[in-house]
Structure 1
C-alpha cells in the first residue's frame, strides 16, 4: 500500500489532484545589449579574493537566479547586493564561459 492509498483511506471525501510535473526548462533570463562587467579583486571583501559581476540590466529576480546558477555550477559561495553579483574566489574565466553559453556578452575588466 503506497502513500496515496493510505491518504485515501484517511480522507475518503477529499479529492486528490495529480501533481503537475515541473518542466526542467530553465527560466529564460533577460539578455541585454551591453556586456556584463566581470572583474576580480585580490583584496576584496574582508581581505578575501572575489569575482564581481556588474552591469546586469534585468530584474532583481533574474539577477538572483543567475547568481544561484553560477554558484551551484561552480560549487562556491557568493551573494547579490546592490545590483552586483559577488562570487567568492577567482573564477573570472569559468564565469565568463558560463555566461557566454547562456548568450550573454561579457567584458573582462582588470588584469
Structure 2
C-alpha cells in the first residue's frame, strides 16, 4: 500500500488529482541572439554573456541557474553574466535548450 492509497483511505470524499510538474522557465525570450564571449581578466579566464534586452531580474535568475548547473562561481554586473572559466560550449547548449538564440563571439 503506497502513500496515495493511504490518503484515499483517510480521506474518502476528497478527489485526488495528480499534477504533472513541467519545467517551464518564465524568463523572457528575445529575438536578438545573446553573445557568449571569452575574456581574460587579471590573468583569469572568464565567459561573458551579454546582449539581454529583457528585465534585469530575469537575467539575474538566468545567471543563478547557469552558475548552479555548471557548479562554478560568477557574478552579474553591468547587464552581463560573468562566469569563471571557459564554459562557452556548455553555456551555449544550456541557453539553446532554454530557447535562446546564442552567438559565439571571438575564438
Fold equivalence (TM over 0.5) = yes
1:34 corresponding residue in structure 2: 32
**Matches of 1:72 and 1:24, distance apart in 2:** 19
1:71 aligned onto 2:67: yes
**Matches of 1:28 and 1:55, distance apart in 2:** 18
Give 5+ residue unaligned stretches, structure 1. 1-22
TM superposition outliers: structure 1 runs of 4+ over 2 Å = 23-27
**Matches of 1:101 and 1:47, distance apart in 2:** 31
1:98 corresponding residue in structure 2: 94
Residue 96 of structure 2 aligns to a residue whose secondary structure is helix
Residue 49 of structure 1 aligns to a residue whose secondary structure is strand
2:45 corresponding residue in structure 1: 49
For these two proteins, the number of residue pairs brought into alignment is 87
1:19 corresponding residue in structure 2: none
Q: CA RMSD in A?
A: 1.4
Displacement of 1:83: 0.4
- Deviation digits for residues 9-52 of structure 1, max 9, x if unmatched? xxxxxxxxxxxxxx7755411100000000101x22x2200000
Residue 29 of structure 1 aligns to a residue whose secondary structure is coil
TM-score, L = length of structure 1 = 0.74
